[in-house]
Amino acid sequence: MIPYVGREEEDNLKKVIEGKWLTEGPFTEQFVAQLKKITKAEFVVPVSSGTVAIYLALKANGIGHGDEVIVPSMTFCATASAVAWTGAKPVFVDVDRFDLNITAYSILHAITDRTRAVLPVHLYGRSCNMKDILEVAGVSRIKVIEDAAQGLGVHCGKYHVGTMGDAGILSFFADKSVTTGEGGAVLTNNPSIYKEIRRMRNQGRDRSGAFLHESVGMNFRLTDLQAAVGVAQLKKLPEIIRKKKIHYARYKKKLKMQFLKTPRYSNFVPFRCNVFSDNREEIQASLENCGVQTRRLFYPLHLQPCFEHLKHDKELYASEGAYNKGMSLPVYPGLKNEEIDYICAIINKVGEE
């Protein structure tokens, strides 16, 4: 993964340095306006990371001690850590084996009297089935917080991911489609959730620079330096998406392996190129020998040492199977066709032996 940053980002950073206003300022405002335009979210709050964004979205929706929050097992650990930090208990459920997203079915089976929210993750560039999930959540009166950390540009029908539930989040970490180094945002259409999140991330006050604090808050703000990079990045988003799609298609054409599937209600913005094989270990070793770094998929959360105390004893077949057989091949805008061809040739050679 190499971030797609260059001249445009440098020029914007220079402007921030010359203007001497380093904390939230004109670039942050512009960044928020761009994100609103792309996602059509009513409100966007820039924050210091995607993890913090999840934490704030849960807190603002009243999630805390004694509550259960349903989380897919196949996701980055931060999705569940943010739940644990509110004092609530993450309850892990399995995902669909064709797209690795949480399903309304698995949510329905995990709901108890203590369930207060579900945290669907739009993984690897495809949307969850939000229509079904919102229906189950509505009937059961639980909140929906969408983790769209990997989902910039991904839509469910005509809605951008992160804008269909009570709140949603984006991440701008260095390996995401668009980056600010570290950074994130909360999306919501609810004015009181918006107000609460703005307060919490800015020392519990409604106005910066004032010393009147309506509640006890924290400092989870973004800087104008980061927003300056983000503004340049978002201008390149269509180009970034176009390039990633071309790379993904090239892998798909050259490799006879199992790929994930995109359901009808979702578009697809390749985040990684995930392939599955019974020979995963061998393939990864061959690539490593040729100097190509690959990653496995996420280690399922219900098996993580940090959540051992939750004593999760059910097998989650799709999550565990994806971990055992799956690997991520690089897809980033700067990747060259020859590099993809080289990677595919190594993989295909393992298949022949």
Q: Which residues bind ligand PLP (CB under 6 A)?
A: 49-51, 75-76, 78-79, 121, 147, 149-150, 171, 173, 184
**DSSP state, 300?**
P
Work out how close the CB of 147 gets to ligand PLP at its nearest, in angstroms, rounded to a whole number. Answer: 5
76 or 277, CB closer to ligand PLP?
A: 76
Of 49 and 163, which has the nearer Cβ to ligand PLP? 49
Nearer to ligand PLP, 226 or 277 (CB): 226
Question: Alpha helix (H) ranges present in the chain?
Answer: 7-19, 26-39, 50-60, 78-85, 104-110, 130-140, 191-201, 224-235, 237-254, 280-289, 317-325, 337-352
**Residue (100 or 193) nearer to ligand PLP, CB:** 100
Whose CA is closest to 277, among 293, 292, 296, 264? 296
Is 162 or 184 the residue whose CB approaches ligand PLP more closely? 184
Q: How far is CA 87 from CA 55, 59, 78, 79, 302, in A?
A: 10, 10, 14, 14, 18
Long-range contacts of 282-287 (CB under 8 A, 24+ apart): 282/350, 283/327, 283/346, 283/347, 283/350, 284/327, 286/346, 286/347, 286/349, 286/350, 287/343, 287/346, 287/347
CB 174 within 8 Å of CB 38:
no
Residue 50 C-beta: closest distance to ligand PLP, Å = 3
Nearer to ligand PLP, 145 or 283 (CB): 145
Q: Which residue has the tokens 């690897």?
A: 124
Shortest approach of ligand PLP to residue 183 CB, angstroms? 7
Considering the complex, state which of residue 277 and residue 319 has its C-beta at the smaller distance from ligand PLP. 319
Encoded amino acid at 313, one letter: D
Query: What DSSP character marks residue 233?
Result: H
Select 54 or 347, whichever has its Cβ closest to ligand PLP: 54
State how far the Cα of 170 lies from the Cα of 183, in Å rounded to an integer.
Answer: 9
Q: How far is the CB of 79 from ligand PLP (least distance, A)?
A: 5
Q: How far is the CB of 20 from ligand PLP (least distance, A)?
A: 27
Smallest distance from the beta carbon of 271 to ligand PLP, in angstroms? Answer: 8
Closest residue (Cβ) to ligand PLP? 50
Closest distance between ligand PLP and the C-beta of residue 169, in Å?
A: 7
Tokens describing residue 240: 């970034």
Q: Which residues pair with 167 in a beta bridge?
A: 145
What one-letter code names the amino acid at 227?
A: A
Q: Give min distance, CB of 51 to ligand PLP, in A.
A: 3
